[in-house]
Amino acid sequence: MGWKPETHTFHLSCGEMTLTLQDVKAILGLRLGRLPVIWIVDNDHWRELVAQFTSFLPLDDDASKKNNHGVSFSLVNFRKSSGVSSSWITERFDYLDPQAEEVLIDRFARVWLWHFLGAFLFPDASGYTIS
């Protein structure tokens, strides 16, 4: 028994099994049948998209290379793509007050799902940036 990467299926004693979109829908409680959630990322304005989605505006590249005292440091030839760091997300969305309003709960859920998809299911080559 186990996962077979050649066929993308689980091989069980009773036969083969794979996950379908309907399975994902049921597990995550997603509503399918609407317009797809896709767009081309505008590399010049991705920070504004993140701000619309999270209510936080990420720092630009120059500001993100400074520590709390304004002292610059090097990221050792690290070129940041259009996205935020995983730590940026966890710093802002690590704790949610149990008495939070529904709109805030929805925002945290969307950001958690975005982080999950970007960091674990579809990571970039750096393993650090969530696009």
DSSP state of 44: T
Tally of CA atoms within 13 A in the half-sphere of 48 that contains its CB? 5
Range of 46's domain?
A: 39-130
Alpha-carbon distance of 8 to 3, in angstroms, equals: 7
Tell whether 44 and 28 lie within a shared domain.
no
10-64 pLDDT, tens digit each: 888 888 888 787 787 777 777 767 776 666 666 777 888 888 888 888 876 544 4
pLDDT at res. 104: 92
Give Cα separations from 82 to 6, 53, 96 (angstroms): 33, 15, 26
Residues 20 and 44 in one domain: no
Residue 122's pLDDT is 77
- The Cα 106–Cα 100 span in angstroms is 10
Same domain, 10 and 23: yes
Residues 23 and 71 in one domain: no
pLDDT at 78 over 60: no
Domain identity same for 66 and 82: yes
Give backbone dihedrals phi and psi of 64, rounded to 5 degrees, phi first: -75, -15
Residue among 127, 92, 126 at smallest CA distance from 110? 92
